Structure 1
Amino acid sequence: MKVSYQWLKEYLDIDVDPRELAEKIARTSVDINDVYSLSDGLKKIVVGEVQTCEPHPDSNHLHVCQVDVGEGDPIQIVCGAPNVAAGEKVIVALHGARIGDNVKIKRGKIRGVQSNGMLCALQELGFSDKIAPKDYDDGIYLLPDDAKPGDSVFPYLGMDDTIIDTDVTPNRGDMLSIYGNVNDIAAFYNLKPHFKEVAVKEGADEQTSDLVEAKVADTTVAPTYKLRVIKDVQVADSPLWLQIKLWNSGIRPVNNVVDVTNYVLLKYGQPLHSYDYSQLPGHQFAVRHAKDGEAFTTLDGDDHQLIANDIVVTADDQPVALAGTMGGQGTAVSASTTTVALEAAIFNPIMVRKQARRLDLHSESSMRFERGINPATVETALNEAAELISELAGGKVTKGIVTASEQPAEDKHITLSLAKVNHVLGTELEMQEVVDIFNRLAFPVETSGADQVTVTVPARRWDIFEAADLYEEIARIYGYDNLPATLPVMTRNHGGLSPRQKFLRATRHDMEGMGLTQAISYSLTTEDKAKQFQISPLDEPMLLDFPMSSDHVAARMNIISGLLLDVAYNVARKVDNVALYEEGRVFLPKGGERPEEQEHLAAAITGQMVANSWHRDDQPVDFFQLKGIVERYLHNLGIAGQISFVADDHRAEMHPGRTANILVDDQLVGFIGQVHPQTAKEYKIPETYVFELNLEALLAADKVANEYHPISKYPAITRDIALLVDSDVTNADVLAIIKKRGGAFLKHVHLFDVYSGLHLPKGKKSLAYTLTYQDDHGTLTEDQVNQAFDKVTKSLTDDLSAEIR
């Protein structure tokens, strides 16, 4: 919630720097996202009065204005806004001013006419379109008549206020209101709040019950439901003080009726909804479960198909609002509204949360209903809103409230033991200190003897249920920093990483050592992306019943799809060389059982892994470079089995001619290759190479024991051999024969040349190898090497019909 510091000061005699206050809130109540002012980074922006406004001589939409900015002679400014006119008070950015997005304003000529500044809309000061009043979307913002030329505009627009943006946890729904923040801040600064409530004055002769009826058949759906009616309203813009409170809280002003409901929502945390009485299909209100397939159009114009778990407010059994979430389009208050039906309620928080998530309709109201509503202020908020609508829109409040259901505001009584408090917190508090803390919280207390204290918890703190909750209240008001620090008592255990932890850590170290950067992507994705890039294809992923959004509906069965989104994010921002890896879990469904969680390793590389320079040409990543990374990783793991790469063309997302399965002793443990060009186009990425490995299979595989092999002090001897073989003979075929027949002294085989084309018979290719021989215990003789080499050449000619060149 965006909390206005100036609004807090209306109810608290507080003289603390806003940033210091934010730090105190963060250490005592809830987290803080940001502390800022709308004027941050802006300068030389003042009030101006347009004295004359003439058409531009060389434009049919520009105006040449003489503007008084309090400096004696007016300055000339060219402006294209359609609503600029003589006599209006406007926002002026002078020469040298800084406006939104750090834009600097300079003198200049616009179509040959000198312009010495700029007349501004709120958006040009940094206001987002979500909070700037819609009436000024196509023009500049007009200030009130009492604005004085030359003054800074910030106080007139509330931009001199400081906003404390709190991150409210689910258990502290009371902090989603000024009322809740005032009570909490008063407690930890030991202040007396002077919160102001506005009493309603009923001015109409009619009874509310003569105009509307209401019923709630199931009070678990709507524990509280109340209605008031205000007649003879005149819908117009809200006064500036109200608009400022709303846009400083991140809410867009609409009109005086809707703005009052939002103001009361911010003040008390009580959502309200206003209906155009004349547009209702009837005046018998009810709250019920929706019918399966029931259609409803919300205020934003979207059509929704409802289900039985949704809850709706109806008028004569016709839905007019999604309860606790959003109103309907046909009954919204408009400029022609003269009578308003005003609703205040408490709806089932679980049902509102599920409804809002399913329909992706998260609003200020649903956020509060989900976390709970103070039953003690429902009627207070309803009465205050009715009175403010009466004052600001000239309406008359009818007599009485129509109540369909009402949850009583019950206080809770919890008994504490002082000894237990000190034992849990590790403190040595006296009884009077504990009593003072609860007095600061405005929790009535009664002591019994030297050890017992009974605390009455008011309904406004519905998050407190038991003694443990009160221990936390004592700790945070006393000050977490004041609690004594003690070491936990524990047995002595030998520390260290488990074999699995060592394995996963070594995996990350290997990937980073080979130039890849770790990425962490969402474990939830779309259904289509979950099905892609699977090592062993499965049918359907595990779907969520209540997904957060349409992009997070299924548990991933691969890691590559998330990495490709990361690649796309970087490429879109002109980062052409991307090498990412991720080690994480995938979730493989097992019928109706809990899914199997497997640890996987995946990587995605595009562009160049090694940057070009004056002595090195561009070398884009290819299949073999990625294959080398996998081979080095498997070698570092000490996999004892036979590792092989077998061509594969069965994965639709992978290039059919540049993909291979990775096998350890004929067991499939992963795959490697190029992303199919069509798939790459869908992800909006260039040519990209990927691999994914099942770490569970590698963890279970046999490993070579760590051994020390001293470097031989004896010289090595090399032999080169060039072979002419059939085109379908692979390097792996040749290596298998060389290693089998190479003898005990063969240390290394290196392929240094591949050639096919002119000067070779059709269907043939040339492969050239260097064989390195070395004895660890003595100097090899020429005869020993020649004998071993002859065995290799003979086997190659016999087994592969190779021709030695």
Structure 2
Amino acid sequence: MKVSLKWMMEYVDYRGSVEELAKRLTMSGSSAESIEYPGRDIKNVVVGEIIKIEKHPDSDKLLVTIVNVGDRALQIITGAHNIKEGDRVAVALPGAIIEGGIEIKVQNIKGLESQGMLCSAKELGLDDHGLPEDMKSGLLILPEDAPVGNDIKDYIGLEDAVIDFELTPNRPDCLSIVGMAREAAATFNIPLTPVSINLKEESGERIPDKVNVTVEARDLCKRYIARIIKDVKIKPSPLWMQRRLQVCGIRPINNIVDITNYVMLELGQPLHAFDYDKLTGGSIIVRRGNNGEKITTLDGQVREISEDTLVIADKKGPVALAGIMGGAETEVSAETRTVLLESANFWGPNIRRTSRRLGIRTEASLRFEKGIDPNLASMAAERACELIERLGAGRVLKGCVDVYPEPVLPGKLPLRVDRLNALLGTEISKEQMVDILRRLEIEAIEESDQTFVIIPTFRADITQEADLAEEIARIYGYDNLPSTLPGSIATCGKLNRNQKLVDEIKQTLTGCGFSEIYTYSFISPSAFDALGAPEDHEIRRIVKIINPLGEEQSVMRTTLLPGILEVIRFNLNQKRESIRIFELGTIYIPRQIPLKELPVEKRRLGLAVCDENLDFYYLKGAIETLLLKLKIRGAVFYPGEHFSLHPGRTAKISVDGEIAGFIGEVHPDVMENYGIEDKRAYVAELDLDLLLDKASTEVKFQPLPRFPAADRDVAIVVEEDVTAGSIMETIKEAGGELLENVELFDVYRGNQIPEGYKSLAFSLTYRAKDRTLTDEEINRLHSNITEHILKKFNGRLRE
């Protein structure tokens, strides 16, 4: 919100520096982001009157003018031709500084002396958007009553200080000059000048005979006021008004439109002006849109209306998007003679949704979506009509149409001084509190030996005692609040079980050489094609985003693989040769399509390795290390399939019979789809929720073994499709309590092994807790285990 200091000072008599104002208002809750000083560098430019014009004797394009600047007459040569004798103009005297820091000097132009310069709007730093065409290409012509000799900065209000405030969404009342003046008055404890309106309603006609207002969508429109202005004269608004609009970031259009924008900036209530003669049947209908309806808005764009869109319509169809932008069909133009002025209050959430859906963000929608006081609509309509009368832009009809079925009344809260002091840790007296709240236009009353405060309707953000405490604290001064310890017993914050386990997972994988990554939860629908997912696969049951940033981020992910593969590709493109990454993320599974409730959120752990020196078994080892760290027993790796992974190089992982995830080499076709060539990548995706459920934080201690262990090896030849894991499980079952450990230490394929077979060598460790095992016991047990696995897997001992 850009605030003109000169404009604001019409409502509050502030006499300090603009820097101090910005600082103090920031400390009281209205953050000042920047300060600009438009017009400050312009010097020695005055109002002049052209008393004589002649052609330059040596140039057909130049004019020689004699200009009265109050205390003298100057000869000034100009190339502009939009002037005549008697015109009042802006004159840059010798030594003057104009926009851009240009200094004006006496010059000799084709043999004649020019003692200054006649200025255009741009040379004064003015936006010429709202000026007549001849002034855009020529000189700025001032009104006939412009006082000759006066400084142009005083006459137009050219010099100003503009503070840009970053306001919080809960303070829509501050999105106005009056709102910020109210804040300044409260902060500095100086009087606030109320808005004074003197509306004459000069036309003898009455509005009820001219317009019929029907509010059908009463849940979306709390109030609608319509006023009519006749005998409208469309012309540029006064320069002082144009200047105020410009410094606050709004371009002038014409007097009627400028007045609506002026009142919006001044009071915070958006207004809209319709060409009354273009409204079919003189009717206004506030309703929801119908699917298929369209409207061409003031920016020339055709907008499609949905049933959730609040529109202003006549008997023929929509004429405006309520609270956002008017329609081109009823736009105020140079031919407009009668205006219907709208001052309404629309429900903020609906305006915000429509604005986002259509991609339109206007000054009006910005205010409506944050919530505006419905009681402000009447004052704004009267203020706009007063300005129309004052500027001679039209005659206001008597009365108005005001549809306001459920008036909003002021709120009421108890003022408990002890409670507020306890919240703030202060000892502020009741008198001080009442004074601070009075400065914010919150009045205190006494009822039945209890004090209450009346909350004005423009402060809808104050709903409870804590809000009162905040108001008192910010005006009292946060820097004046004492430092106090918490008054109640504090509890010590700590991580819960799953949070500790997640930290343990991150530390373990980091210790294994992996780096954590974060990827977007939004992905492209084409990612499933790149992964090679079958058309009917459940992974394609996705949640679509209504308002996506783009096609590439239009659905919620159902797997972590797309993000992981994108990260691999990016790092390879950056010439990273060794990539080891992991991600703890959430996938989103819809309960049903179309959605009727929020999707199920499941946590997943994704891992990936892309390094010519690392393979499948490195990634498998990292997962086994993690499972060991989490004290998860009963994890089994067994052959499996996955549409994104290489056949025969993929394994499923189960824990206690439940599927925990998959691991494998990425299929070459998938690598090609992601633009990764001549590289191998190994990925795994695990069910993080299952791992956390199966993990144990219990630590058990047992004494060191008292008796020695005995090692035996066995090498068996089995068919190629027999897995080492299944053999190890069988060995453990047959070994019983005396088998302490079993490890695979060799896999051999070669000349001594028939084709289609492999040799697997295992090391077995035997130990008893209560005695030293004899060779006879060990040999008998080892022999039994060997016979068992040979028989079960149809193998033979390797010689």
Q: SS of the residue aligned with 2:330?
A: coil
User: Per the alignment, do residues 563 and 766 of structure 1 end up closer, same or farther by CA in structure 2, a change over 3 Å counting?
Assistant: closer
Say which of 662, 666, 676 aligns to 1:671. Answer: 662
Equivalent position SS for 1:321: strand
**Is 2:233–2:394's contact at 8 Å kept on the other side of the alignment?**
no
Q: What letter matches 1:290 in structure 2? A: G
Distance in 1 of aligned mates of 2:652 and 2:37: 59
Matches of 2:243 and 2:618, distance apart in 1: 60
> Does the 8 Å contact 2:273/2:339 carry over to 1?
yes
2:458 is aligned with 1:460: yes
Counterpart selection for 2:622 from 610, 616, 629: 629
Q: 1:365: which partner in 2? A: 364
8 A Cα contact 1:725 1:803, kept in partner: no
Is it true that 1:642 corresponds to 2:640 in the alignment? no
- The equivalent residue for 2:584 is 583
In the TM superposition, what whole-angstrom CA distance separates every residue of 1:182-233 from its partner, at most 9, and x where no partner exists? 2123212323344766766767787655654423356444232123445676
Q: In 2, are the aligned partners of 1:173 and 1:368 still within 8 Å (CA)?
A: yes
- The alpha-carbon distance between structure 1 residues 716 and 19, as it changes in their structure 2 partners (threshold 3 A), is farther
C-alpha distance in 2 between matches for 1:135 and 1:710? 92
2:688 to 688, 695, 701: 695
- Structure 2 distance, partners of 1:780, 1:159, is 102
Matched letter for residue 697 of structure 1: L
The 8 Å contact of residues 519 and 580 in structure 1, kept in 2 or not, is answered as yes
Q: Give the letter for the 2:223 counterpart.
A: T
Displacement of 1:424: 4.8
Looking at structure 2, the residues matched to 235 and 516 of structure 1 have their Cα atoms a distance apart, in angstroms, of 70
- 1:304 equivalent to 2:304? Answer yes
Q: Which letter maps to 2:468?
A: L
Residue segments in structure 1 that go unaligned for 5+ positions in a row: 47-86, 95-121, 123-131, 147-155, 609-618
User: What is the SS of the residue equivalent to 1:375?
Assistant: coil
Q: 1:505 to 1:252 in 2, by over 3 A?
A: farther
Aligned-residue offset at 1:370: 3.0
Equivalence for 2:318? 319
Contact kept in structure 2, 1:530 and 1:558, CA below 8 Å: no
Name the CA shift for 1:729/1:467 in 2 (closer, same or farther; >3 Å).
closer
* Residue 271 (structure 1) aligns with: 270
Residues 711 and 558 (structure 1), Cα distance of their counterparts in 2 relative to 1, 3 Å cut: farther
> In 1, Cα distance between the equivalents of 2:409 and 2:306?
34
Aligned letter for 1:275? F
Report the Cα distance in structure 1 between the residues aligned to 2:246 and 2:773, rounded to whole angstroms: 86
Contact map agreement 1:541 1:555 (CA 8 A) in 2: yes
Deviation at 1:438, TM superposition (A): 2.0
CA distance in 1, matches of 2:266, 2:577: 50
Residue 741 of structure 1 and its aligned partner are, at CA, apart by: 8.9
Tell me the distance in 1 between the aligned counterparts of 2:492 and 2:15: 53
Aligned to 1:59: none
Amino-acid identity (%): 31
Equivalent in the alignment of 1:378:
377
What does the per-residue CA deviation read over 1:631-668, in whole Å, with 9 as the maximum and x for residues that have no partner?
3222211111133143223x5x6666665432113311
Contact 2:130 2:251 (C-alpha < 8 Å) held by counterparts: no
Relative to 1, partners in 2 of residues 1:431 and 1:135: Cα closer, same or farther, differing over 3 Å? closer
Indicate if the aligned counterparts of 2:5 and 2:160 stay in contact, CA closer than 8 A: no
Q: 1:313 Cα shift? A: 0.9
Partner of 1:443: 442
Q: Give how far 1:346 is off.
A: 0.7
Q: State how far apart, in whole Å, the 1-side matches of 2:672 and 2:128 are.
A: 41
Q: Deviation at 1:336? A: 6.6
CA distance, structure 2, for counterparts of residue 256 and residue 515 of structure 1: 69
1:285 and 1:316 map into 2 onto residues whose CA distance is: 8
1:342 paired residue number: 341
2:660 is aligned with 1:662? no
Asked if the contact 1:186/1:440 (under 8 Å) is kept, the reply is: yes
1:29 and 2:29 are equivalent in the alignment: yes
The Cα shift of 1:272 comes to 1.9
Partner of 2:79: none
> Which among 502, 506, 509 is matched to residue 508 of structure 1?
506
SS in 1 for 2:221: coil
Equivalent residue in structure 2 for 1:603, among 603, 606, 622: 606
Gaps of at least 5 residues in structure 2 are 44-90, 103-121, 142-155
The separation in 1 between residues aligned to 2:426 and 2:565, in whole angstroms, is 53
Output the CA distance in 2 between the equivalents of 1:468 and 1:766: 76
Let me know the Cα RMSD of the aligned residues: 6.0
Q: Relative to structure 1, is the Cα distance of residues 445 and 706 closer, same or farther in structure 2, using a 3 angstrom cutoff?
A: same
Whole-Å Cα distance in 2 between the matches of residues 349 and 4 of structure 1?
Answer: 27
Q: Are the aligned partners of 2:652 and 2:659 in contact in 1 as well (CA < 8 Å)?
A: yes
TM normalised by structure 2 equals 0.66
2:464 pairs with 1:473: no
Structure 1's 596 and 402: CA in aligned 2 closer, same or farther, altered over 3 A?
closer
CA contact (8 A) 1:215 1:286 kept: yes
Instruction: Determine if contact 2:33/2:164 at 8 Å carries over to the other structure.
Output: yes
Which deviates more from structure 2 when the two are superposed, residues 377-386 or residues 627-636?
Answer: 377-386
SS of the equivalent of 2:627 reads helix
Deviations along 1:601-643, one digit per CA (max 9) or x if unpaired, are 33365766xxxxxxxxxx4876554444323222211111133
Q: Which amino acid aligns with 1:647?
A: G
**How far apart in 2 are the matches of 1:227 and 1:145?**
36
Q: Secondary structure at the match of 2:415?
A: strand
Measure how far apart 1:366 and its partner are. Answer: 3.0
Contact persistence 1:313–1:323 (CA under 8 A): yes
Letter aligned with residue 382 of structure 1: A
Aligned counterparts of 2:278 and 2:261: Cα–Cα separation in 1: 21
> Higher mean Cα deviation, 482-491 or 665-674?
482-491
Give the Cα–Cα distance (whole angstroms) in 2 for the partners of residues 438 and 385 of structure 1: 30
Find the residue that maps to 2:457 and give its secondary structure: coil
Distance 2:221 2:798 in 1: 89
Deviations 1:687-745 (A, max 9, x none): 87654322332233264854478799999999998x98755455546766788899958
Quick one: which amino acid aligns to residue 464 of structure 1? I
Q: Which secondary structure does the structure 2 equivalent of 1:601 belong to? A: strand
The change in CA–CA distance for 1:501 and 1:797 in structure 2 (over 3 A counts) is same
Map of 1:190 onto structure 2:
189
Rounded to whole Å, the distance in 2 between the matches of 1:230 and 1:570 is 67
- Count of aligned residue pairs for this structure pair: 691
Alpha-carbon distance between aligned partners in 1 of 2:710 and 2:246, rounded to the nearest angstrom? 79
- Rounded to whole Å, the distance in 1 between the matches of 2:251 and 2:647 is 54
What's the CA shift string for 1:220-265, capped at 9, x where partnerless? 4423212344567677887887677667656666666555544433
Q: 2: CA distance between counterparts of 1:144 and 1:658?
A: 81
Larger radius of gyration: 2
Which secondary structure does the structure 2 equivalent of 1:226 belong to?
A: strand
Question: Using the alignment, how far apart are the partners of 1:445 and 1:276 within structure 2?
Answer: 46
Q: Deviations over 1:323-369 (max 9, x none)?
A: 22333344345677665433210123344345445656554433422
Q: 1:492 to 1:606 in 2, by over 3 A?
A: closer
The residue type equivalent to 1:371 in the other structure is K
Match of 1:216? Answer: 215
